[in-house]
A and B are shown apart, each in its own frame.
Chain A
Amino acid sequence: MEANIHFPDPALIKEELINKYPAKVAKKRSKSIVINDPETIPEVQANVRTVPGIITQRGCSYAGCKGVVLGPTRDIVNITHGPIGCSFYSWLTRRNQTRPESPEHENFITYCFSTDMQEENVVFGGEKKLKVAIQEAYDLFHPKAIAIFSTCPVGLIGDDVHAAAKEMKEKLGDCNVFGFSCEGYRGVSQSAGHHIANNGVFKHMVGRNSKPAEGKFKINLLGEYNIGGDAFEIERIFEKCGLNLVASFSGNSTVGQIENAHMADLNVILCHRSINYMGDMMETKYGIPWMKVNFVGAESSAKSLRKIAEYFDDAELRARIEEVIAEEMPKVQAVIDEIRPRTEGKTAMLFVGGSRAHHYQDLFNELGMTTIAAGYEFAHRDDYEGRQVLPSIKIDADSKNIEELKVTADPELYSPRKSEAELEALKEKGLEINGYEGMMKQMQRKSLVIDDVSHYESEKLIELYKPDIFCAGIKEKYVVQKMGVPLKQLHSYDYGGPYTGFEGAVNFYKDIDRMVNNPVWKLIKAPWEKAETESLEASYVTQ
């Protein structure tokens, strides 16, 4: 990968980022700010506690569990057990979409259920109120499933949501009730909540219905949450290619799908961070391999489809997929040809999510734009450096507090879809079977990689690099734009999307073109246009 862009010296930038911190904080942050080398990937400190008072992008365990993983489900009644704020703040804010088969079909996604804990519940316990809330939700909707999400006070006052769920499940008879201990103080970020959600969904939902799934090429789509309609585009492509989607975790999903997911023959993983646990557990228990794919980016989508064809090793499927790619790509190329002259050579920074900061680099590449710095909010070392580092990741107290399910092969349902030898052969061909190479391998030498970037650091980065676009979320959006740099929200897409697949790529190119070439930015005088440029001019060309 080569680019002909002048960067300030990353070592100087790193120094500049941390020199305002107290010594102890500077030392800690310095391990999370590294200069990339795709050949010999350096270690990144990740998934460690945020220092108090450093304003972080990170959310909490509840946000990861209820907001991210279970939020997009439409036929589970999700009840937040706690004071009102948590449920209110996670009420449709992620722009998950869903498409019930008909208006009569269940869709609880627009609802926000809360036990709305009051002081007396904190003092005397909230289990009673929780059980009444479950009963009410059942009487009202007769849903297939009810899920309970614990917020901070719940764990502290000792409410046993699992016992309450079990009791209500038995009482109701035809409704699956289960709880999540996803109190906000657990773990270091929303990542803990993803893990807790994976465990719960695996334990309480997957495997409940072993009716053989239909179709020849049966796959589950993992780590896709249908923000801005992303899942709809992937579904469209799958259908066109003749791939049979058994279950999605969890964009546009249903309880029925998830309960039947173990009948698929391949799990494809989009967001490695939030759902890799599910892939691993399903492999161990049922023998379904998982494969890392990326449907963000047109080229990446084509590549991912070819990998799926390779996995199933079917000539007809291969041919069909090539046909689809041949049909879709010209439309994409036409838009690239039009836009690329205006975006070529521009620079981007991405500080977002646990996978998005990686995936979206592909779209920028397709526009001829270079990612000069990137990092995740809540990822782990394997998302940066690749899964080969997993054995060397130290398990700290925060990770230890999150339950690791002990999964074994199911005596009846375990059936390896591929033999060890077949899997090895597929890996030889470059398929990321049960593996993930991470973000850094794809990034340029001397680009900066920063985990859990703080508000202060991101402002500094903008000042020093002056990127053409910054990608993060709504919390960062307006501070970046105050400085005259457009910010693209990669959580909510600024009300845009979908950005997956072929049609999504086109949407993204157009949105980026509109942002980086917008005349309004000329009206804003950026701070660096006024201030004396600082002493970081020593620049060089990356190779």
Chain B
Amino acid sequence: MQTATAKTATQNACRLCNPLGACLAFRGIEKCVPFLHGSQGCATYIRRYLISHYKEPIDIASSNFNEETAVFGGSHNLKVGLKNVTKQYKPEVIGIATTCLSETIGEDVPMILREYVAAFGSDAPMPEMIFASTPSYQGSHIDGFHAAVRAAVKTFAEGGAEKHLVNIFPGMISPADIRYLKEILTAFDLPYVLLPDYSQTLDGGPWGEYHRIPPGGTPRSAITFTGSAAASIEFGSTLEASKSAGGYLEEQFDVPRLNLAMPIGIRETDRFFDLLEKLTEKPTPEKYQDERRRLVDAYADGHKYVFGKKAILYGEEDLVISMASFLHEIGVVPVLCASGGKSGLMRERLEELIPDMDENGITVRDGVDFVDIENESAVLQPDLLIGNSKGFTMSKKSQLPLVRIGFPIHDRFGGQRLHHLGYRGTQELFDRIVNTVIEQRQNASPIGYTYM
């Protein structure tokens, strides 16, 4: 079959839509029901997609637009929907995001919400409402994610005398990563507000009792304190202050925004731990120093298998940037760092982490789809692919091994429990990458060896 060159349409997209990210972030707020203002199909598609990765129940309500609503506006449907969600789920918070439909007809959601509160405000209990504008024809799921986190902070944060706590806005990471971050902050004895925290809501145990909304999530009351925190730590190389929760808090309440790349690899994780040491004036707990030592040791023992291998990396821009930095550290060349995202900052940020990227044969392409990536692959001849499940078709066609990371992973079990961040996450990634290379060699070997 032929392949494309320059093209207008997108084939096999490498990004998901804006409201999906918002729903995911809302899932990380305690007793919160995500609500999409638009057609019910959006809520259904996004539920089925998130659920196929997290393998947990995910309820997303919708204002169920129909032909009439699409023409005359969805104010009535939104109000009825909020009322029904309140009655059935008794949420403390409803996180409302828009879709391309409600955005195209120009719905003024904040106004509708004011009318709703004015009409029913005296009916107890009235949940708090967060609103994020997430038109699907702009940006990607990661923009919706950050928009929802920023909206939550905007809705609840209050100023006041500085408290002994830090905010941590880690971006779109796995539930396992969230648990690990919380463990680290606890070990430093540093009080924190982590938002969003879907470590339990999207990776929890069976229910000994009935839950309308799964337990877990950042409490609404905790989000209030984000305005008086000592600092905000925010992961995401391409995340701009104007779009982030940390940026809002800095602007509004003078909470310093400390932006870091996602801590993947030793160097970027060191930066994170250095920051924690500085903030707490305490040394890194022995346990993590141990993790670091084991990781360095593993690098030393495993380097020969992976050194000089060429990888194609794809996914969200921030994940790709940090993964590239890690790969560079272990001698794997990320010959292509690709993303469907289009912040326009990817190359610049990557260059800050890897100044000699050009000499090392590292290339960057944003705004791409999988057909673009495949075309690049034909020229670059990589040894492996690193990214989400959507690269499988390409991996099969080109017979390249695929190391699954990030989101979505729906053709393997346990995607929600993969670690990526910190020394522990890096260790896990390193082991998986080394073993993928070894497995490939073992399978390709005409003799077949069983001893390493």
A370 contacts B by Cβ under 8 Å: no
Taking a contact as CB atoms closer than 8 A, the residue among A83, A87, A119, A129 that contacts B8 in the complex is: A129
Query: How many Å lie between the Cα of A527 and that of B205 in the bound state?
Result: 13
Q: Which of B20, B43, B46, B208 lies at the interface centre, i.e. has the most chain A CB atoms within 10 A of its CB?
A: B208
The interface on chain B, measured as residues whose beta carbon lies within 8 A of the other chain's beta carbons, has a size of: 75
Q: Which of B9, B39, B85, B105 lies at the interface centre, i.e. has the most chain A CB atoms within 10 A of its CB?
A: B9
Query: How many Å lie between the Cα of A527 and that of B135 in the bound state?
Result: 40
Q: Which of A56, A185, A455 lies at the interface centre, i.e. has the most chain B CB atoms within 10 A of its CB?
A: A185
B225 contacts A by Cβ under 8 Å: no
Taking a contact as CB atoms closer than 8 A, the residue among B3, B9, B207 that contacts A136 in the complex is: B9
Residues in B59-76 with C-beta less than 8 Å from chain A: 59-70
User: Given that A61-B41, A111-B12, A112-B13 are known contacts, is A478 also in contact with B60, CB under 8 Å in the complex?
Assistant: no
Does the CB pair A88–B16 fall under 8 Å? yes
Query: How many Å lie between the Cα of A217 and that of B101 in the bound state?
Result: 48
User: Given that A156-B105, A482-B207 are known contacts, is A136 also in contact with B4, CB under 8 Å in the complex?
Assistant: yes
Query: How many Å lie between the Cα of A477 and that of B51 in the bound state?
Result: 9
A153 contacts B by Cβ under 8 Å: yes
A475 contacts B by Cβ under 8 Å: yes
Does the CB pair A91–B12 fall under 8 Å? yes
User: Given that A57-B44, A478-B57 are known contacts, is A184 also in contact with B101, CB under 8 Å in the complex?
Assistant: yes
Query: How many Å lie between the Cα of A211 and that of B85 in the bound state?
Result: 57
Residues in A98-141 with C-beta less than 8 Å from chain B: 110-119, 121-122, 129, 132-133, 136-137, 140-141
Taking a contact as CB atoms closer than 8 A, the residue among B9, B20, B59 that contacts A79 in the complex is: B9
Does the CB pair A185–B69 fall under 8 Å? yes
* B1 partner residues in chain A, CB cutoff 8 A: 141
User: Given that A52-B77, A475-B44 are known contacts, is A530 also in contact with B209, CB under 8 Å in the complex?
Assistant: yes
User: Given that A185-B66, A484-B206 are known contacts, is A25 also in contact with B84, CB under 8 Å in the complex?
Assistant: yes
Does the CB pair A58–B44 fall under 8 Å? yes
B11 contacts A by Cβ under 8 Å: yes
Taking a contact as CB atoms closer than 8 A, the residue among B44, B83, B393 that contacts A59 in the complex is: B44
- Nearest chain B CB to A55 CB, angstrom units: 5
Does the CB pair A63–B45 fall under 8 Å? yes
Query: How many Å lie between the Cα of A136 and that of B11 in the bound state?
Result: 11
* B16 partner residues in chain A, CB cutoff 8 A: 84-85, 88-89
Does the CB pair A483–B207 fall under 8 Å? yes
Does the CB pair B67–A60 fall under 8 Å? no
Taking a contact as CB atoms closer than 8 A, the residue among B12, B85, B210 that contacts A53 in the complex is: B85
* A525 partner residues in chain B, CB cutoff 8 A: 206, 208
Q: Which of A114, A118, A140 lies at the interface centre, i.e. has the most chain B CB atoms within 10 A of its CB?
A: A140
Does the CB pair B39–A60 fall under 8 Å? yes
* B60 partner residues in chain A, CB cutoff 8 A: 55
CB 8 Å contact bits of A474-492 with B (1 = contact, 0 = none):
1101110111100000000
The chain B residue with its CB closest to the CB of A63 is B41
- Nearest chain A CB to B260 CB, angstrom units: 29
A93 contacts B by Cβ under 8 Å: yes
B78 contacts A by Cβ under 8 Å: yes
Does the CB pair A110–B393 fall under 8 Å? yes
B99 contacts A by Cβ under 8 Å: yes
* B80 partner residues in chain A, CB cutoff 8 A: 51-53
Taking a contact as CB atoms closer than 8 A, the residue among A52, A156, A463, A527 that contacts B104 in the complex is: A156
B406 contacts A by Cβ under 8 Å: no
Query: How many Å lie between the Cα of A22 and that of B39 in the bound state?
Result: 22
Taking a contact as CB atoms closer than 8 A, the residue among B57, B82, B100, B209 that contacts A479 in the complex is: B57
Query: How many Å lie between the Cα of A336 and that of B240 in the bound state?
Result: 62
* B57 partner residues in chain A, CB cutoff 8 A: 478-479, 482
- Nearest chain B CB to A315 CB, angstrom units: 48
Query: How many Å lie between the Cα of A118 and that of B70 in the bound state?
Result: 20
User: Given that A57-B44, A59-B45, A482-B57 are known contacts, is A155 also in contact with B84, CB under 8 Å in the complex?
Assistant: no
Does the CB pair A117–B137 fall under 8 Å? yes
Does the CB pair A141–B2 fall under 8 Å? yes
B278 contacts A by Cβ under 8 Å: no
* B45 partner residues in chain A, CB cutoff 8 A: 59-60, 63, 85-86, 89-90
Does the CB pair B88–A456 fall under 8 Å? yes
Residues in A183-209 with C-beta less than 8 Å from chain B: 183-190
Q: Ordered nearest first, which 10 A-B pairs have the shortest CB separation? A: A60-B41, A85-B17, A53-B84, A53-B81, A52-B81, A479-B57, A133-B9, A184-B39, A89-B45, A83-B136
Given contacts A55-B60, A133-B8, A455-B59, 18 further A-B contacts (CB under 8 A): A21-B88, A52-B81, A53-B62, A59-B44, A61-B41, A85-B45, A85-B136, A110-B393, A113-B11, A114-B10, A115-B10, A140-B4, A152-B99, A184-B101, A475-B47, A482-B57, A483-B206, A531-B210
Give B residues with C-beta under 8 Å from A: 1-4, 7-13, 15-20, 35, 38-49, 51-52, 55-70, 77-78, 80-85, 87-88, 99-101, 104-105, 135-138, 140, 206-210, 212, 393
What are 9 A-B contacts defined by CB distance under 8 Å?
A52-B80, A57-B44, A58-B40, A83-B135, A152-B101, A153-B137, A183-B70, A184-B101, A477-B51
Give A residues with C-beta under 8 Å from B: 20-22, 25, 49-63, 79, 82-91, 93, 110-119, 121-122, 129, 132-133, 136-137, 140-141, 151-153, 155-157, 183-190, 397-398, 401, 455-456, 459, 463, 473-475, 477-479, 481-484, 524-525, 527, 530-531
